[in-house]
Amino acid sequence: MSLSKKPLQDLANKLERIAPKLSELSVAMGFDAFVDETIRIVGERSSPESYTPMPTIGDFGAWATASAGRSGLREFVLEKSTAGGCTVNMGDGIATMGFPLNAFSGVGDPMHPVFEDFASKCASVDSISMQPGRAIVTEFDDGKLMLCGFSHFSQFTPDFLRHQFADGRFRKICEQSAGIAMTSWSVYPHMTDCWKYLYQEALAGMAHRPQLFFDLADPASRSLADLSSMIAALRGFEQIGRVTLSVNLNEANQIARALEIPEALNEQAASLESLARSIRIRAEVSEVSIHLVKCATTSTAEGAATVEGPFSAKPKRSVGAGDRFNAGFFAGQLLNLAAADCLRLGAASSGYFVRNAHSATWEQLIQFICDWADSKLL
């Protein structure tokens, strides 16, 4: 799965040449938004001002398990409150690159202050009369744990959307968009029915076929029956445009269980490509992408590709890394890049983010890919 230098150099050169096209490719995206409160669990405090955080999820799990039948107390430190949610995170990646983004995202009315920076990068932000969810995000060196509150998302129904989109603005923006992305199916109890409304009514009969991109967010709390219904609804969007489903490996294996197909046995290219191909065929969609921490795979009718990414053992920020992968991957699709280059661009977008804790501009992405090619990344 290793990458040679030449494909990265070629990609960087290609991105330089096509940079002027970005401003011509507008994107519509919806619908979630969260206020993320990032915390660290204190492992050992050395003074009132300094501490060593608990390093891994395994360490936290061992402490929690040892507390069973007794009790446990740990200090946490609130590091910051940031704008979150898949639409906001992926949208931030897309907008920072330079694509005009029109977001339909529950950022609050009036907008919660934490989203002001995100909104400043967008062509427009519509709050869809929805308050943001709340996420307590616990960061560790090897991943993150997220505790989320979003019970009010149950208000998000087809009738709610009919009311929100009655003025025709959503339809008009989608008709002008090269790509439409819909995120976080898992946190909306009625999103499957909302998807049906979107392709049967709100988006039916559009003159062009945009790139359509779907992200689930972790569906662990949803039943296999829910997942099966979601897949059945997803294929309906193929009548509107070219559908891509992007998932991580855990999500892909959950879908596999729902579809009663073999799960990936390991993280090797052959296993990942087989799973992506099987989901794509059973779901009857154009493309299925699976991203992991160290690599990513995608499957289309033309074939499959797997690339290894620029892994960082000590990320500055991991929350939102998958969303930045999606931003880069989707950007590649909007620019009609080859599947492997879409994966490389997604990996670069994510790799830059975890090292810098913010999204990359187009110029920063090009430089990152050059540094990646020259083995200069830390």
Q: Has residue 51 been placed in a domain?
A: no
pLDDT digits (tens, 9 = 90+) for 279-315: 999 999 999 999 999 999 999 999 999 999 999 988 8
Average pLDDT of 249-277?
Answer: 96
Domain span at residue 30 reads: 5-34+84-133+151-373
pLDDT of residue 107 exceeding 80 = yes
Q: Has residue 70 been placed in a domain?
A: no
Model confidence, pTM: 0.91
pLDDT of residue 15 exceeding 50 = yes
Model pLDDT, residue 309: 95
Q: Has residue 55 been placed in a domain?
A: no
Q: Has residue 69 been placed in a domain?
A: no
Question: Average pLDDT of the chain?
Answer: 96
* Three-class DSSP labels, the chain: CCCCHHHHHHHHHHHHHHHHHHHHCCEEEEECCEEEEEEEEEEEECCCCCEEECCCHHHHHHHHHHCCCCCCCCCEEEEEEEEECHHHHHHHHHHHHCCCEEEEECCCCCCCHHHHHHHHHCCEEECCCCCCEEEEEEEECCEEEEEEECHHHHHCCHHHHHHHCCCCHHHHHHHCCCEEEECCHHHCCCHHHHHHHHHHHHCCCCCCCCEEEEECCCCCCCCHHHHHHHHHHHHHHHHCCEEEEEEEHHHHHHHHHHHCCCCCCCCCHHHHHHHHHHHHHHHCCCEEEEECCCEEEEEECCEEEEEECCCCCCCCCCCCHHHHHHHHHHHHHHCCCCHHHHHHHHHHHHHHHHHHCCCCCHHHHHHHHHHHHCCCCC
Task: Tell me the pLDDT band of 173, cut-offs 50, 70 and 90.
Answer: very high
Residue 310 belongs to domain with CATH number? 3.40.1190.20
Task: Tell me the pLDDT band of 2, cut-offs 50, 70 and 90.
Answer: very low
Q: Has residue 40 been placed in a domain?
A: no
Q: Has residue 224 been placed in a domain?
A: yes
Model pLDDT, residue 317: 85
Number of independent structural domains in the chain = 1
Q: Has residue 43 been placed in a domain?
A: no
pLDDT of residue 3 exceeding 70 = no
Model pLDDT, residue 144: 85
Q: Has residue 305 been placed in a domain?
A: yes
pLDDT of residue 346 exceeding 80 = yes
Average pLDDT of 91-115?
Answer: 97
pLDDT of residue 1 exceeding 70 = no
Task: Tell me the pLDDT band of 378, cut-offs 50, 70 and 90.
Answer: confident
